Amino acid sequence: MKRLLIILPLLFWIACDNQKDEDGFSLQGTWVDLESQMSRKNSEVLLFDTNSGSFSYAYVSPSSSADGCYCYENMIYQQVDGDNYRVDYGDGDGGDPLIIEVLESGNISVTFELYEWVEIEFLKQSDNLQSSLYPACEGSLCN
């Protein structure tokens, strides 16, 4: 009986800890392409604002200098179910599918029509939106 009294709180604690890990995940913040981050290029960035349900996809302009400026695509997203989302560019077309899978590492794997259905792994850089680290291009560098 004493063993049971010791084991029950331990099992309860483990169950609560696992639930906390699952509930503690948030898309909110700045995410960088893991491969680009490892090569120190930072070529693709996602900025999720969960409060407004919007996110920005930023990428280095191919027309910019070596340091680069970023082109931004702003979208609204909505979770459909599980890992499945829909994004709307604001053009009234009803949105395109987006798949965001949370990996065991805490990174996310994103599959999106914008990437031609290529799966890209993103690493969380910050819980905050850090667009100031990725300056927007001026003029026609993103057209």
Helices (H), the chain: 2-23, 34-38
| pLDDT confidence tier of residue 116, bands split at 50, 70 and 90 | low
Domain ranges of the chain: 26-128
Class of domain 26-128: mainly beta
Determine the pLDDT at residue 91: 66
Least confident window among 11-15, 17-21, 37-41, 95-99: 17-21
Cα(124)–Cα(60) distance, rounded to whole angstroms?
18
* Single-letter amino acid, residue 116: E
| pLDDT confidence tier of residue 8, bands split at 50, 70 and 90 | very low
Q: Are 46 and 109 in contact (CB under 8 A)?
A: no
pLDDT at 64 over 70: no
| pLDDT confidence tier of residue 94, bands split at 50, 70 and 90 | low
What is the reported pTM? 0.74
Give the 3-state secondary structure of residue 56.
Answer: strand
